[in-house]
Structure 1
Amino acid sequence: MQVGWKKCKQHKSQDNCRYWTSPKNWRASAIAVLAFCSILAAPTAQAVEIKAKAATLYDFTNKSLVFSKNSQVLMAPANLTKLMTAVTVQQAIHAGDITPQTMFKVSEHAWRTGGAPARVTTMFARLNSSVSVNDLMYGLIVHSANDAAIILAEGLAGSEENFAREMNKLAKSIGMENSNFTNPTGFPDENHKTTLEDLTILAAYVLEHEPELHSVFAMDRFTWNKITQRNKNPLMRDIEGLDGFGAGFSEREGFAALGTLDSNGHRYVAAIAASPTLQDRVQDMKTLLLPTFSGLTLQQFYRKGELVSDAQVYGGKKTTVSLKTNDAVATLINPNEKDKYKLRVVYNGPIPAPVEKGMEVGELQVLSKNDVIYRATLVTGEDVAIGDLQGRAWDALGEFFYQLF
């Protein structure tokens, strides 16, 4: 699985890129910038207001990112770690290493660290008793049980540390490039980090490849050993239709959440991190998943494959190449606000020839109040062959003078 916006990370930061630059046609480039930035003059709008420091909204049905705010900033996943734990155990079941009926013993470490003595969320597994993988998985997901997470880790890999290695292997294999897990519970550890981008990739993986596992996250309650507990995900009762995945809290970073729901046959995944309060977390998730809650609307700016602009080419038979969208470009807007959105094209150029059609060479940025709220990959629209010697010489001279200034 590949989430559509991931490849944007491969480009240099905007401080190191040129905006509409060329050793030629400075005046034309300046006019292009002004014209392009005013494209959205008609739909007066402001970026969606999210109190969390980081947020994403992913359109799972269309496989495209709708909204992004600091999605690649490292964060502590806290309780959201248990989604990665569940997927790792599920992979072991698929591989035949264990079955749902396999019994794991409750160690003293699991009991003291994640059980009743620790005063954390638990399924109250008794010391030295044995519990089936099936019950442990329900306890892990529905009860958010820390003892279940540790028992599964120890039973499957011998220790939390060994299990964390398996978590990291799986994370990398599905495209979670910026995650590092050190335990199965999400207990605080400075090396236990992920990003909202990676968590969204994980959620999309579960929705696409593990529908049975996803259904467990939607359970209202689970009874085990004569103890009935309601689903520990508080957002299940705050957001109608939510059927996964969880909520977390970090002393340093505040409140986080990862949620998904189906709206009239269209499924979305939202994630937030560093929300200041419980109320803000609920508000932010509703804003992302239920746009009508705050009067927002989903605005599409470009269709997939649509022409956006041109980029300068160095040493080619043509001096420019068209730039097109790799995916549909859309985001949430507040139509009642007066501030205007702006669009900006960023690419590292001039692009040296030869240029192949479909090369990822830059990105389209959606801005509000000078903040970049969304990035979309731009690809070249056609091939550009290498030019003749004289043309390349003039391009080289122009580039030399450009560098001087």
Structure 2
Amino acid sequence: MFNENHLEQFLNQSNYDIRLSNNARWIDQKCTPDVVCIIADCILNYIESSQKTTFLTKEIWNSEYAKEISDIFSKPDVTSSSAQNEYDKFFQQPMELLSYSGLLLKQKQGNQNLYTVQNIELLEYIARRERNCLNFLTHYITKVLKDSGIYIHFESFFGTPNTNTFSQLKDQFESFMIQHTAINTEIECRRIFTKVLNPLSFTLKNYGTESGRLSPQKITYDQLMYNRLNFRDLYSNKPKDVTRNEYEPTVPEKLKLEKFWKYNSNKAKKLLRAFNDEFRNRISEHGDDLANCEATHIHHIFPEAMYPSISGTVENLIALTPSQHLNRAHPLGKTQEIDKGYQYLLLISKMKSIEINLSQSTIPQIYDFNQFREVLAVGLDQPQIHEIPDLDFASMATVIDHYFQ
């Protein structure tokens, strides 16, 4: 399974100096973590189903799997003539980024671009989850900026983020792009600038750009996305005497997100199953008397139907044996019901799995502590959990214990 060490090795194979390539399309407006992730997933699905590693943009665009894009990103159907220009950018821009990175080899076939996958493991890594894609983008952007000799300007801004250093950085970036690429307007540079600066800002827990100006707050994860609601914003008007579970069905925006949640749920299950098979010998994540065979079932600790917004996070999933899943997690096999006592035990076991995974460097880290905080904040309806410090598993355990006692 591809990991961060492999990513560094891959990027170090190439020189991304824009002064040599003069390529302005190394990143673009649509190159956000969620868009690049899903385009990578569409490519991966296409080559797996067609058994081909070479494709045209429209072959991905017109694939059955890609038609889900219209729902996930609130776009018109991919076959709509009115959507052609938008979808051309939506698919083409991430493919251009992946081509510049070396993951795809681009060749001309008439007036069309023909792409060939050069690193299937990296493609799988990017397609697996948005956090992976963000990690790839952050490392890739940093490498391009360093190879191009302009990362020093970004370092200067991050060291002292204020309106003056922000303006200087933006001017330096615009001048560089206009001088070394075919871009000839500041407006186009500014559109790209956001996609360059903000992933770095988020990773460094720093300020970035918002509406063309210095952001008033440090960049948050949701600001990096192309078409994503901040789930905490969805609940900002929730009455205090109403649980999130009761309030969620009344939120109009939820309907637009249902297919996206289901899509991510399926991907998360696939990820955990593959990880558990490869690195844990298919053993159950919860040790009890029913953990006596392979863990072939993937269970939502907080049920998918009741908590759809966290259904696509691997931190809310646990690998169990069939007996654990159908006899304990769901009493008498009733999948619409859960055993609260067993749910507590599974949360503790899941927390241990996450802690072990994040403490090891020899295997891929598939979990994220921030995501685990979000799972507990939503599942237990306790927003204050977001205040727990990074990797403070002891405090997490205390919160879980108090909730279930």
Q: Tell whether the structures are fold-level matches, with TM greater than 0.5.
A: no
- Pair member with larger Rg: 1
- Quick check: which one's strand share is greater? 1
Answer 1 or 2: higher relative contact order, Cα 8 Å, separation at least 6. 1
